[in-house]
Amino acid sequence: MLTLVRRYGTLVGFAAILVTFWVLLPDTFMTARNWLNISQQMSMLIVVASGMTLVMVMGDFDLSVGSMASLAGIVVAILFTLGYPVWLAVSLALLVGLLGGAVNGLLIAYVGILPFVATLATLTIFSGAAFVVSGGKTISGRVIPEEFGSFARGGLPLGEWGGIAVSIPNLTLLAIAIAALVWVLLEQTTFGRRLYAIGGNIEAAHLSGVPVRKLKLAAFALTGGSAALAGIMYASRVASANPTQGSGLMLTAIAAVFLGSTLSEHGEPRLLYTVLGVLILGVLDNGLTQLSVDSYVRQILVGGIIVLAVSASSLTRKLRQ
Amino acid sequence: MPLLSLANVTKAYGGVPALRGVELAVGPGEIHALMGENGAGKSTLIKILAGVVAPDTAEIRLEGTPARIDSPRQAHRLGLRFIHQEFNVVPALSVAENIFLGRAYPRRAGAFVDWRRLNLAARETLGKLGITHIDPSWSLGSLTLGDQMLVRISSAFIGEEGAPARLYVLDEPTAALNRGEAERLFTVLRELRATGASVLYVSHRLDEVMATCDMATVIRDGRSVDTGKIADITHDDLVSLMIGRRVEEAYPPATAAPRSETVLSVTHLAIRGGRPVSFDVRAGEVLGIAGLENAGQRNLLRTLFGDLNCAGGTMRLTGQPFRPRNPTDAWRAGVSYIPRERRSEGLIVSRPIFENVTLPHLSAQSRWRALLTPRREMRLAAEQGQRVRLKAAGPRQRVRELSGGNQQKVVFAKALAGQPRLMLLDEPTRGVDVGAKFDIYALIREMTARGMGVVLASSDLPELIGMADRIAVMREGAITDIVAAEEIDEERLVNLCYGRVTG
């Protein structure tokens, strides 16, 4: 019984939320259009949360993903102003993400700084760099190539729905691809297995021949890369970049992973549940926005629901012992 | 009249009986051993006494008066004191502060702690139990685990208004202690007995029980099977009572002599905090490592395993130069390691059995060294599980759910899965029950019969004498003697460890 509450409490809550929105918003909520819209709004978060899952599997976390996303958006935009082609600008911005993440990994795995301290420091550094590079201004307008902005607006046509053309947004497809990639990494490769081993018992993993430091470095680099990709996606979506663009991503990504881990059998982060966690948060935000709930009240509600889900899960676990 | 008597104690967890009718009577001023294999119900019984677990049925009498124990507070009020392995002490505070933790410290001018009187009172408390080697002003964290335990006991010994201590319950107190510390603990227990208090002593270590306890009660499968005076029972009888069958030999005999070829050859190897060591391990040989706690055994094994870097000297593994820079290198070369601390170093208890077994061999078990092949892994884990006689629901079961002995078998399955040439074992039977212990010894014999070399570090001297072909004695970070196991007895080995004689 308690196990059921622990595992399925969040799901039942999610179902209740869905039904509530469906009843309150009969015309707009349960429509293909709205769900495709949600998926697009959530695509950046899915990418960041997937990357975050990699490090949270090891029991670490990365606070710098938000400011890395901002920095990557700025880098890509600045490179456009310098006349770089899209493919090169995007690749270089991704490289910045991988390198920034690798710096996190170096500080944590090789220097031995706590993830909280290390990524808090790099959060500040990346954010400062974004301001320095951009001069604190929003970069937009004609310097952003048309093809870059149109990527986010485009999609894969699905057909007609009630007389309106419906398509799966490119950003959604990209997010699904990244989530799939991280799922394969975590669930199907030796890399993922070893990350879980590190998260379970770092000393035993080390003595079992797991190269702990190298893997931490790699995982943090990938997390940085995912944050950069999300920043680039965001810049494409709004066809502009400003140095605080990604700041909301970090907390929500960590919340999504936590929310997802309450759903998994043994309470550990797993990619599919992370995606589900993102979805729950996305649906909440979408429904509350449609109901014209004030955005600050929305924040309070979303925060409260995270606390509720995670404490229900940990309380029932405690009771079971 | 017994101080404490229990009758008809039953307890089931979710329909599975853990206790099916236990009887136990502890007399005044006696040290009473509670014995049984892991899973026999000892810890459930202790938890019931401590008021942590509610029994389904129980008749509890203290000095003949029926009593109920509903809470730890109630147990304390009845004069029961529990000393666990994870005791509630504050390492950063002094010994005296810890002894009086939670009680009123002596005051000066009503407000300030009177440190001088506090230390005096602490010294007096320690002295009552014959503990004179611990200064109350030392910080507790600087003491050895054994001394910390003595401090904890003396803290429990302080009389309290209305609730004087009458019975001390010690659950596996020597699991983390070395021989000297354990001896000191026994001295203190005898002091306690002399003051009229009783002790209920839970231990796997038969020799300790035989040497220290007055009475023993054996429980098996949730029932008390026998109780009696230690003086009337033999070592072998106790073992067969505990496991329910007769054990012919404590240590299975070797089936073949060590072969002539050398598996590991170590020359002038510099180990951290010690002097260079040289020795050989032959194929099919068990080289025992004896020594007092922290005589360098752990560092030696960790250097052989590549976890500590060696500053100098050479190692050869089956003739090839061998210089592991990390455990990964060692596993790859066919060296496996059973670490001392099973839960913190040997296992990832939150993960399934098969993931633990295959972890060091994951690349070899995967397609293109990267893609997992769970079916192949599961087969390997099942094979190795069978080989080590693992009792588990299946390879997907989480290690956390297994008993201590079965957890250790998972560690062995992991070490054996890669077909190693050399096994390094650090206290492989610590905290393991008698039945599983015998299985582990049989496994070591099987390994040597296949031509593996084994290095066995142990503080259990009879185990070393029973299992090893030769024994290297370590003292202060160096190997001081290497003796043939069949030519030495326990007493002489102890003396070698202390450096009182030479081999």
Considering the domain architecture, whether residues B226 and B291 belong to the same structural domain is answered as no
Residue B346 predicted with pLDDT over 80 = yes
* Predicted pLDDT at B501: 66
* Closest by Cα among B386, B387, B363, B389 to B376: B363
* Same structural domain, B165 and B277: no
Q: What pLDDT, in 10s, does the model give residues B193-222?
A: 888 889 999 876 778 888 889 999 998 888
Question: What does the pLDDT read at residue B499?
Answer: 81
Q: Residue B277's domain is classified under what CATH number?
A: 3.40.50.300
- Of A90-94, A168-172, B82-86, B140-144, the one with minimum mean pLDDT is B82-86
* Contact call for B372 and A194, based on CB within 8 A: no
CA distances from A188 to A29, A192, B80, B304, B366 (A): 36, 7, 53, 33, 10
Verify whether the Cβ–Cβ distance A188 to B371 is below 8 Å. yes
**Residue B249 belongs to a domain:** no
B232 and B279: one domain? no
Query: Does pLDDT of B381 surpass 60?
Result: yes
Quick one: average pLDDT of A248-274? Answer: 90
Query: pLDDT confidence of B159, banded at 50, 70, 90?
Result: low
Residue that wins the pLDDT comparison between A128 and B392: A128
- Beta-carbon count within 10 A of B186 CB: 18
Tell me whether residues B347 and A194 touch, CB distance under 8 A: no
Does residue B179 form part of some domain? yes
Average pLDDT over residues A187-193: 97
Cβ-based contacts of A209 with chain B (< 8 Å): 326-328, 330-332, 359-360
The DSSP-derived string for A180-243 is HHHHHHHHHBHHHHHHHHHHH-HHHHHHTT--HHHHHHHHHHHHHHHHHHHHHHHHHHHTEE-T
Mutate to test the interface with B, among A189, A191, A198, A208 (most CBs of B within 10 A): A208
Residue B274 and residue B176 share a domain: no
Residues B172 and B67 in one domain: yes
Q: How confident is the model at residue A3 (pLDDT cuts 50, 70, 90)?
A: low
pLDDT surpassing 80 at residue B250: no
Higher pLDDT, B182 or B259: B259
Q: What is the pLDDT of residue A194?
A: 98
How confident is the model over B300-336, as pLDDT tens digits? Answer: 999 999 999 887 899 999 999 999 999 999 999 999 9
Assess whether B84 and B233 both reside in one domain. yes
Q: Which of A5-9, A75-79, B2-6, B176-180 has the highest mean pLDDT?
A: A75-79
pLDDT of residue B415: 96
Tokens 């081993």 locate to: A197
Domain shared by B267 and B150, yes or no: no
- Average pLDDT over every residue of A258-286: 91
Q: C-alpha angle B412/A206/A209, rounded to 5°?
A: 65
pLDDT tens readout for residues A139-168: 998 889 999 989 988 888 888 777 777 889
Query: In terms of domains, do B239 and B297 share one?
Result: no
Q: Does some domain include residue B503?
A: no
- Structural contact between residues B186 and B221, judged by C-beta atoms closer than 8 angstroms: no
Confidence (pLDDT) at A2: 58
Domain count, chain B: 2
Residues B271 and B236 in one domain: no
Which among A189, A197, A206 has CB closest to B370?
A189
Query: Quick one: tokens of A204?
Result: 């035993």
Question: Is the Cβ pair B348, A204 closer than 8 Å?
Answer: yes
Which pLDDT belongs to residue B309? 86
Note whether B80 and B145 are same-domain residues: yes
Mark yes or no for CB contact A266/B346 under 8 Å: no
- Residue B250 falls within a domain, yes or no? no
DSSP readout, A126-191? HHHHHHHHHTTPPEEGGGS-HHHHHHHH-EEEEEEETTEEEEEEHHHHHHHHHHHHHHHHHHHBHH
Beta partners for residue B367, in sequence order: B371
Query: For the ranges B166-180, B227-241, B447-461, which has the lowest average pLDDT?
Result: B166-180
pLDDT of residue B239: 79
pLDDT given at position A321: 44
**Which of A195-199, B117-121, B211-215: highest mean pLDDT?**
A195-199
pLDDT at A109: 96
Per-residue exposure over A101-128, b if at least 16 CB sit within 10 Å of its own CB, e if not: bbbbbbbbbeeebebeebbebbbebbbe
Q: Between A188, A203, A208, which is nearest B359 by CB? A: A208
Cβ–Cβ gap A208/B327 under 8 Å: yes
Task: Give phi and psi for B250, each to the nearest 5.
Answer: -70, -35
pLDDT surpassing 80 at residue B61: yes
Asked whether residue B199 is assigned to any structural domain, the reply reads yes
Which of the four pLDDT bands, split at 50, 70 and 90, describes residue B91?
confident
Q: What is the pLDDT of residue B398?
A: 92
pLDDT band at B52 (very low <50, low <70, confident <90, very high): confident
Q: Tell me, yes or no, whether B248 lies in a domain.
A: no
- Residue B15: the pLDDT is 67
| Residue B466 domain boundaries | 262-498
What is the pLDDT, as a whole number, of residue A319? 57
Q: What is the mean pLDDT of chain B?
A: 87
- What integer pLDDT is reported at residue B88 of this predicted model? 65
What are A32-43's pLDDT values in tens digits? 889 999 999 999
Q: Give residue A159's pLDDT.
A: 80
For chains A and B, CB pairs below 8 A equal 74
For residues B9 and B26, give the distance between their C-alpha atoms in angstroms, rounded to a whole number: 15
Are A190 and B350 a contacting pair at CB < 8 A? no
Residue B127 has pLDDT above 90, yes or no: no
Within a domain: B84:
yes
pLDDT at A295: 86
How do strand B112-113 and strand B198-202 relate by DSSP bridges? Answer: unpaired
Q: Which value does ipTM take for this structure?
A: 0.91
Contacts of B355 in chain A (CB under 8 A): 193, 196-197
3-state secondary structure (DSSP) of residue B287: strand
Q: Which of B208, B243, B278 represents a domain boundary (last residue)?
A: B243
For chain A, list the domains and their CATH numbers.
27-152+163-320 (1.10.3470)
Q: Kindly tell me if the per-residue pLDDT of A5 is higher than 70.
A: no
pLDDT at B13 over 60: yes
Same domain for B236 and B330:
no
Which pLDDT score is estimated for A208?
97
Contact in structure between B303 and B337 (CB atoms under 8 Å):
no
Residues of chain A above pLDDT 70, percent: 96
Cα dihedral across residues B300, B304, B310, B313: positive or negative: positive
pLDDT over 90 (residue B154): no
- Identify the weakest region by mean pLDDT among A77-86, B15-24, B265-274: B15-24
Tell me the per-residue pLDDT of A78-128, one tens digit each, with 9 for 90 and over.
Answer: 999 999 999 999 999 999 999 999 999 999 999 999 999 999 999 999 999
- Contact predicate B359/A197, CB 8 Å: yes
Q: Residue range B18-27: average pLDDT?
A: 90
Distances (CA, A) of B353 to A72, B306, B380: 42, 25, 11
* pLDDT value of position B249: 60
**Any domain includes B251:** no
Query: Please, what's the largest Cα pairwise distance for chain B?
Result: 78
More confident residue, B67 or A194: A194
Residue B202, pLDDT score: 87
What whole-number distance in Å separates Cα of residue A171 and Cα of residue A209?
39
- State whether B457 and B419 are in the same domain: yes
Mean of all residue pLDDT scores within chain A: 91
Per-residue pLDDT band at B84 (split at 50, 70, 90): low
Q: How far is A62 from chain B (nearest CA, A)?
A: 23
Give mean pLDDT, residues A300-317. 78
